[in-house]
Structure 1
Amino acid sequence: MNQEIEQLEPNRIWNNFSKLNAVPRPSKKEEKVIEFMLNFGRSLQLETFKDEVGNVIIRKEASIGMEDCKTITLQSHLDMVHQKNSSTDFDFNTQGIEMYVDGDWVRARGTTLGADNGMGVAAIMSLLESHDIPHPPLEALFTIDEETGMTGAMGLKGGVLKGQILLNLDTEEDDEIDIGCAGGIDITATRTYEEQTVPKESIAYGISVKGLHGGHSGMDIHRGFGNANKIMNRLLFKSTEEFGIGVSQIDGGSLRNAIPRESFATVVLRADQKEDFEVKITEWVEDIKSENSFVETKLNISLNKVKMPVKMMEKTAQDKILRAVYAAHNGVYAMSAAIPELVETSNNIARIQVKSGKISIGCLTRSSVNTAKFDLANSLKSVFELADCSVTLTGEYPGWSPNPNSEILEVLKDQYEILFNEKPQVVACHAGLECGILGKNYPEMDMISFGPTIKGAHSPDERVSISSVKKFWIFLLQILKNTP
């Protein structure tokens, strides 16, 4: 299977990507990939070490004649988002990613691919092991835990890096050069509730919401993709209003940085309401599908009889939490007034768990304006507190402020035009890149970000363009040859 991948051009990158993807590397469980990267650097007899938090740094001397060029730090993160379809049997802690070629795309079978940010890691590995590529002094920085907290970048101390220029290889459109990004903060709402015994003469149903796009909660937040948690909550709210259902449990979404694709709930109601309930659910589902028909063509909402649960939520708690989730903002909150078509502020209601007397709701709020980020976070905090939740704001990280006068930006713009006979798009993005965090301890470092075209990141639909990887590699080599 991976032999098919390794035969793609450029062979160096695809070979290293295959090796990397054979190593389990979910966020916060990067021990195996850290060891893999340490062994890789040492096998090349390059200066290789791990810092206090687990970031791996590898250094390579300049090619002959380029010793006086500025040192370039090449940076990508080792971890990947671990998302899979509910029907896929896969263990991210023990298995390597199963890849295949689909036209101009490389995909994974039922899981995320790890091209975010594995393609950047593979490109850096290819440069480190090369003997025929002209380059200035190189310093590779492989960070950990970018996807669920950026703790690797946050934990990197000042004085460790020697580079004067940082090339972050973690963006997802090959015609874009990124010079800024959003910051973020996690909102977590929790509470307990009393459980009640399910009344006699009840009937139980399982409701499932599946088939949504999902995707990156920053880069895809403006695309109008459905949020499984909001769709499920809408159904539960209406069912409560019209039929007085009892909610036994809810399990929706997964990671904060992924738009939730699936949600599952178990509900109970009086047995004599069965026919009316099924009719109404069918009507509501048709409405929801119609509203989402232009974007979510594979949306599937099903209702099935299930085994009767023993307990359900106490009514007051149920009403409060359903209203809170209904009121909580999800999606784009504000567009940037400074940069056309850039999302400024957004929120993703990423994870909802209700079970055994405990409720947990996880959100990720992003903004390129720090005050706006906290403004929306406080709005969400207030909504959930009105539902008697305890709310914490954690994992805050800064955005990356654009520097339009960047020297390396001019190099990239000029070389892109020379190679491809067109101007690149110079942009800021709504995702979280590590440049803003790294810039706190390295304020004089000139930073830029670019990468190959990746679609569907943070979802099992993730794919990377084969032709784009070739373009990205050509561009990267050209940049190295023309570094000041």
Structure 2
Amino acid sequence: MIENSLDKLEPKAIWKNFSALNAVPRASKKEERVIAFMVNFGESLGLATSVDEIGNVLIKKNATTGMEDRKTIVLQSHLDMVHQKNNDTIFDFDHEGIKMYVDDDWVKAEGTTLGADNGLGVATIMSILESDTIIHPAIEALFTIDEETGMTGALGLKGGVLSGEILLNLDTENDTEIDIGCAGGIDVTATQSYIAEPCPFDTLSFEITVKGLHGGHSGMDIHKGFANANKLMNRLLYKTNERYGLRIATLLGGSLRNAIPRESVAKVVVNKDHATAFTVALAQLAEDIKLEFATTEPTMEILIDKTDSAYATVVPVEVQENLINSIYAALNGVYRVSADFEDLVETSNNIAKVEVGADKVSIKCLTRSSVETSKFDLAHSLQAAFELGGFAVEFSGNYPGWAPNPNSEVLEVLKSIYSRLHGEAPEVVACHAGLECGILGTNYPEMDMISFGPTILGAHSPAERVSISSVQKFWDFVLEILKEIPKK
């Protein structure tokens, strides 16, 4: 059953606040409006509200009567969301609020990301802050910025701002799990400039499109066998260039580093004498690829369209060869699986965005690992592959992982409550996503940290959705945790 209203959903407080939050555009690095929204929210409740020089918002609330002897807790979520939409969706993220609807047990968005990551965490904290009936210890509500594209909010938070002894990060996506560790990451960027050449005579123009892929979170979904549009496009170009000498005019695949790329479009030219054989060979290769990925990518489309447009310039042959060979050589996906945690990806890479045009080639990757040495091992492997192709390589945005603490006091509290509520033990895990706990721990090394959340699927893609029943389960869990925070 599909309906547009969230008004009837329980718990009403969370869905009300989530709807209000989702009416505010909040892309990473464009959080001015959502910062103002949160400041107004805190001040309207008469709570101590401040914004640091980075843009993180801190709202403090005193303990309820009888809870003054409990440890102060930090409730933490990030304000920004990944802005992704399908190519055929008309939507302006800078000016429109997310259009949501209910489909059985799921809340979804109309052709865009939903913002449940991490909007439901934010909405949960808002619901606690505004309540006059919920029992809780003293609270420091920390809303960070720019988690999705650099974690600069967490990186910029100074020591001494927080006094809490326990941090509950509400930013994981499986309601059966309690997270005690995560991967760190580093951005790997390869660039190469060129002088465009005039398009050869006697050529025909084509547009090759890869679309309809699953996409998803480049950490949490990297092991699921989903196709990467950039790697698929490169495979198409490699084989047909090898046989028919195509020339690339422009290429654009993917968008954000933390999203597995779902779409790629290449504009190419081929000699008229080879055009028919080229299209036949490309169509056959496309069918082979779709067959390979029939299980994981059932909606994949690979389109080959002859165009009437004449492309003015193309990439020089040497640069084109370097580009195709380098992307073929560069690892995408899982590099290493953890030997210490069952079924945990330790190290991976996402070839997130490839852009060719305006006399420049750019390849953007996000490399993740829960082991620092392994993270840099893979980053250097990518660097070597790209430098062999004549690319300049830059590392940036490095952030640490979060080392698990199996002896955590608050972990034992959460495990006990979960088992009591549900009659079974939770899964205690580390995840391959990047959480802010590791970064925050550099300035607050003694803080006891745990991460958990409701069930969210398809994060960082237009398939993002959240389970309604899971949100109720999560809310009940949070309320019990607040009652049982240990004494000082």
TM-score norm. by structure 1 comes to: 0.99
Distance 1:468 1:370 in 2: 34
| 3-state SS of paired residue (2:96) | coil
Paired letter, 1:356 = A
- What does residue 334 of structure 2 align with? 332
Deviation at 1:423, TM superposition (A): 0.6
Offset at residue 356 of structure 1 (A): 2.1
Q: Which residue of 2 aligns with 1:222?
A: 223
The Cα RMSD (Å) is: 0.9
Residue 374 of structure 2 corresponds to 372
In structure 2, how many angstroms separate the alpha carbons of the residues matched to 1:361 and 1:94?
Answer: 29
Q: In structure 2, what is the Cα distance between the partners aligned to 1:396 and 1:465?
A: 33
SS at match of 1:223: coil
Q: Which residue of 2 aligns with 1:179?
A: 180
Write out per-residue CA displacement over residues 293-350 of structure 1, whole angstroms, 9 at most, x where no aligned residue: 1110000000001211010011111011100000000000000011111000000000
After superposition, residues 340-419 of structure 1 pair within 5 angstroms as 340-419=342-421
Please give the residue correspondences for 1:158-237 in structure 2 after superposition, counting only pairs within 5 Å: 158-237=159-238
Q: Is the 8 A contact 2:458 2:465 kept in 1?
A: yes
Deviation at 1:91, TM superposition (A): 1.3
Q: Is the 8 A contact 2:206 2:305 kept in 1?
A: yes
Post-superposition Cα deviations, 1:346-397, rounded to whole Å, max 9, x if no partner, equal 0000000000211010000000000000000001011111111111000000
- Listed one character per residue, the Cα deviations across residues 66-88 of structure 1 (whole Å, up to 9, x for unaligned) are 01100010000000001000111
Tell whether the 8 Å contact from 2:3 to 2:103 is kept in structure 1 after alignment. no
Q: Which residue of 2 aligns with 1:26?
A: 27
C-alpha contact (below 8 Å) 2:4/2:101 kept by paired residues:
no
Residue by residue over 1:125-168, the C-alpha shift from the partner in whole angstroms, topping out at 9 and shown as x without a partner, is 00000011111111100000000000000000000011110000
1:281 & 1:159 partners in 2: Cα distance? Answer: 60
Change (3 A) 1:3 1:132: farther
Does the 8 A contact of 1:6 with 1:18 survive in 2?
Answer: no
| Among 431, 455, 458, the residue aligned to 1:456 | 458
| 1:43-442 pair list within 5 angstroms | 43-306=44-307, 307-442=309-444
Tell whether the 8 Å contact from 2:4 to 2:100 is kept in structure 1 after alignment: no
Counterparts of 2:133 and 2:198 in 1: how far apart (Å)? 72
Distance 1:301-1:3 versus aligned 2 partners, 3 A rule: closer
**AA aligned opposite 1:300:** E
Q: For residues 288 and 357 of structure 1, what CA distance do their matches in structure 2 show?
A: 31
In 2: Cα distance, 1:324 partner to 1:155 partner: 35
After superposition, give the CA deviation of every residue in 1:182-235 in whole Å (9 maximum; x if it has no partner): 000000001112211112211000000000000000000000000000000000
Identity %: 63
Q: Would you say the 8 A contact 2:109–2:465 is kept in 1?
A: yes
Distance 2:189 2:363 in 1: 6
Contact 2:3 2:102 in 1 (8 A): no
Gaps of 5+ in 1: none
Task: Compute the displacement of 1:2 (Å).
Answer: 9.6
Q: Report what 1:468 is aligned to.
A: 470
Q: Equivalent residue of 2:361, what SS? A: strand
Other structure's SS at 1:90 match:
coil
CA distance in 1, matches of 2:134, 2:319: 63
218-227 or 305-314, larger mean C-alpha shift: 305-314
Q: Aligned with 1:344: secondary structure?
A: strand
Q: SS of 1:180's equivalent? A: coil
AA of the residue aligned to 1:97? I
What is the TM-score of this pair, normalised by structure 2?
0.98
The Cα shift of 1:278 comes to 1.2
Q: Distance in 2 between matches of 1:256 and 1:86?
A: 18
Deviations 1:47-83 (A, max 9, x none): 0000110000000011100011000100000000010
Residues 173 and 454, structure 2, Cα contact 8 Å, conserved in 1: yes
Could you tell me which runs of 5 or more consecutive residues in structure 2 were left unpaired when the two chains were aligned.
Answer: none
Contact 1:2–1:99 at 8 Å: present in 2 too? no
Distance 1:141 1:7 in 2: 29
Which 10-residue stretch deviates more, 401-410 or 3-12?
A: 3-12
Name the CA distance, whole Å, in 1 between partners of 2:27 and 2:93: 7
Matched residue SS, 1:429 = coil
With 470-479 and 197-206 compared, the bigger mean Cα shift is at: 197-206
Q: In 1, distance between residues paired with 2:374 and 2:191? A: 24
Which amino acid is 1:129 matched to? E
Structure 2 residue aligned with 1:35: 36
Letter in 1 for 2:485: T
Residue 4 of structure 2 contacts residue 102 of structure 2 at CA under 8 Å; is this kept in 1? no
Q: Which letter does structure 2 place at the counterpart of 1:275?
A: T
State the distance in 2 between where 1:275 and 1:391 align. Answer: 38
Structure 1: 4+ residue segments shifted above 3 A: none
Take 1:182 and 1:200, find their aligned partners in 2: how far apart are those partners?
51
**SS at 1:57's partner residue?**
strand
Instruction: Work out the CA distance in 2 between the residues paired with 1:58 and 1:465.
Output: 28
Equivalent residue of 2:46, what SS? coil
Count of aligned pairs between the two proteins: 484
Taking the aligned partners of 1:238 and 1:423, their CA distance within structure 2 comes to: 51
Q: Letter of the aligned partner of 2:45 in structure 1?
A: L
CA pair 315-394 structure 1, distance change in 2 beyond 3 A? same
Distance (Å, rounded) in 2 between the aligned partners of 1:237 and 1:446: 50
Within 1, Cα distance between the matches of 2:99 and 2:311? 37
In structure 1, how many angstroms separate the alpha carbons of the residues matched to 2:111 and 2:156?
Answer: 33
Distance 2:3 2:291 in 1: 40
Is the 2:192–2:390 contact (alpha carbons within 8 Å) kept by the matching residues of 1? yes
Q: Distance in 2 between matches of 1:33 and 1:126?
A: 17
Shift in Å at residue 276 of structure 1? 0.7
Cα distance between partner residues in 1 of 2:179 and 2:36: 31
- 1:477 maps to a residue whose letter is L
